[in-house]
Amino acid sequence: MSAAEPAAYRLRRDVGLVGLLFASLGSIIGAGWLFGALYASQLAGPAAIISWALGGGAVMLLALTHAELGAMYPVSGGSARFPHFAFGSLVGFTGGWVTFLAAATVAPLMVEATLLYASNYVHGLTTLSGGRAVLTASGYLVAAALMLLFCTINVLGVRWLAETNKVIVWWKIAVPALTVIALLATSAHRSNFSATGGFMPFGWKGVFLALSAGGVVFACSGFEQAVQLGGESRRPRRNIPLAMIGAIVVALVLYVALQVAFIAALDPSSLSNGWGAVAFSGKAQLYGPFAGLATALGLGWLAVLIYSDAIASPAGTGLLYTGASSRLTFALARNGYIPSAFGRLTSRGTPLVAIAFSFVCGMFLFLPFPGWQQLIGFVSAAAVVSYAIAPLALGALRLQDPDRPRPFRLPAAWLLAPAAFIVASEILLFTGWAVVWKLIVAILIGFALLFVSRASESSVRGFSLDWRSSVWLPPYLLGMSALSYVSSFDTGTPSSIPLLGLHGPRNDLSFGWDMLAVALFSLVIYAFAIRCRLSVERALRYVEASAAEAGGAD
């Protein structure tokens, strides 16, 4: 923030512990719970319970690295800031760009999901085109109105965002909790946990596949919302770690309980063709297996609640990610990557231009591009790359800024930081070649936009890209692409790049060996990145440049 900017135009620290906790929890618990238990079971059988435990543990490890960084540097859009402090502009832009891609696509997707569910009661919002649902003209107008509502709440100030979200999150917790209680009280077939191939019918590979293709890890993601709002929170050094850790614990308990309730409530006859063939018809195809189970068990009141939650949950998540994407755009501008106009604040302390940009992006993503919905699903996995960069930033900043107070200090960081980086890389491997190559293309598009911005915008032209401290990034991205291409994790969606003559995945590395290769490769990259970190002087200069936004933090 420049010295000339009025104090009244700084970010306002209006969000307390509960607001931060609910921001992370509201992002983690979305409409995904409606289908997560079914998809995980189809890939892992009853061992999907292990998948949820492993996925929750992996996300918790990644959250702990964010917790130390968020408490040390309570600034908005932290996912774009931490790598900037440790490795400079090019790595910082990469982290911010991929996180922005994930956040910017979630909000319009959630709005579209809300209208898809609502179309069962309000006709004319969606229509079928090429075998998939797309918005009609009237649906597009309603979607625009919802996005405008989300943006208006964000413009009014972070307190409005936090208070509105609290009401929605209580509902988002209550409905799945009631679902667990009602199903277990009505139907509990213990034999299902060992039927049709035993507890682990697809082996450990099924367990790991469920982490990605089953949606386990992505159902647990979203904890970083507390970090993105760090510059607008009260007592952030205490509240940010508590909010992230607390949100993951609550969500994980709820997800595991839902998985247990789903397995127990299934009619044993539905398992006659194996777990991979478990399916539902009727409204359950749209609203998920829990709606189907409730209807089959005569729990009509529960089915109605689930139908209602299918509309409310994605809308609440869309509200939060509208705020997250605008805070990331704000951070990218404050770092100097994009024009400074995106970093300006209103008298309410909100980034108006950044919020307006989120609205424009949302309206663009509503357009019915061929195959666009599938592409969005892949781009949303970009969050994994930003998760991978945070442990690297933690390891580097431990050496660059050792004397800064650490309200939360990650124990044994020398071991857990590289372990977190390995975990993130493994998750990226599990997503499969079809995801990884699209992520690389998305990152290259971001680099192109960065260079265009440098060439055309005077406020961006002068900053350094810090090439020397970024030399580890291309080997990491290319190496992960190569390992994904030869791995065994195709997740059932083989993909090719004809122009490059690549048709993958090749499946040259069998299951287990590909995971070992990624682990060893990640250790080498981690050591290389830490060695390439910015000098102490330059890192502290970047930190101090953002210190004004943390004024009043305690």
Read off the pLDDT of residues 415-443 as tens digits, 9 standing for 90 and up: 999 999 999 998 888 777 877 887 888 88
- Amino acid 5: pLDDT: 46
| Tens digits of residue pLDDT in 125-183 | 888 776 666 788 888 899 889 888 888 887 877 777 778 888 888 999 999 999 999 99
- Amino acid 52: pLDDT: 94
Are the beta carbons of 493 and 51 closer than 8 angstroms? Answer: no
- Mean pLDDT for 388-394 is 93
Task: Name which residue leads in pLDDT, 295 or 370.
Answer: 295
pLDDT > 90? residue 516: yes
- Amino acid 12: pLDDT: 65
- Amino acid 249: pLDDT: 94
3-state secondary structure of 294: helix
pLDDT > 80? residue 484: yes
Q: For a pLDDT cut of 90, what percent of the chain falls above it?
A: 26
CATH fold of 14-103+157-280+379-542, please? Amino acid/polyamine transporter I (1.20.1740)
Q: How confident is the model at residue 19 (pLDDT cuts 50, 70, 90)?
A: confident
- Amino acid 8: pLDDT: 44
Average confidence score pLDDT of the chain = 82
Q: Which residues of 408-434 are buried (b: 16+ CB within 10 A; e: fewer)?
A: bebeebeebbbbbbbbbbbbbbbbbbb
Ranges 77-91, 252-266, 393-407: which has the least confidence = 77-91
The two three-digit tokens of residue 192, written as one number:
């299902």
pLDDT > 70? residue 216: yes
| Cβ neighbour number for residue 461 with a 10 Å cutoff | 11
Q: How confident is the model at residue 499 (pLDDT cuts 50, 70, 90)?
A: very low
**Which single residue is written with the structure tokens 């599938």?**
374
Residues whose CB is less than 8 angstroms from the CB of residue 73 and which lie 6 or more positions away in sequence, other chains included: 81, 82, 85, 230, 543, 546, 550
99: buried, middle or exposed (CB in 10 Å: 19+, 13-18, 0-12)? buried
- Amino acid 503: pLDDT: 56
What is the reported pTM? 0.81
pLDDT > 60? residue 413: yes
Closest to 169 (Cα-Cα) out of 316, 8, 362, 12: 316
- Mean pLDDT for 7-24 is 72
Answer positive or negative: Cα dihedral of 74, 79, 83, 84. Answer: negative
- Mean pLDDT for 278-297 is 79
Helix, strand, coil distribution of the chain in percent, nearest 5: 75, 5, 25
Are the beta carbons of 424 and 391 closer than 8 angstroms? Answer: yes
- Mean pLDDT for 351-367 is 83
What is the rounded CA–CA span in Å between residue 28 and residue 62? 14
- Mean pLDDT for 490-517 is 64
Are the beta carbons of 108 and 436 closer than 8 angstroms? Answer: no
The two three-digit tokens of residue 234, written as one number:
């009260």
What is the rounded CA–CA span in Å between residue 54 and residue 48? 10
What is the rounded CA–CA span in Å between residue 109 and residue 376? 8
Task: Name which residue leads in pLDDT, 205 or 280.
Answer: 205
- Mean pLDDT for 310-321 is 82
Q: For a pLDDT cut of 70, what percent of the chain falls above it?
A: 87
| Tens digits of residue pLDDT in 96-126 | 888 888 777 778 878 887 887 787 778 888 8
Highest mean pLDDT among 59-63, 70-74, 312-316: 59-63
The two three-digit tokens of residue 488, written as one number:
């065994």
Query: Torsion angle of alpha carbons 252, 255, 260, 261, nearest 10°?
Result: 140
Are the beta carbons of 20 and 226 closer than 8 angstroms? Answer: yes
pLDDT > 80? residue 367: no
Q: How confident is the model at residue 26 (pLDDT cuts 50, 70, 90)?
A: confident
What is the rounded CA–CA span in Å between residue 204 and residue 471? 36
Task: Name which residue leads in pLDDT, 459 or 325.
Answer: 325
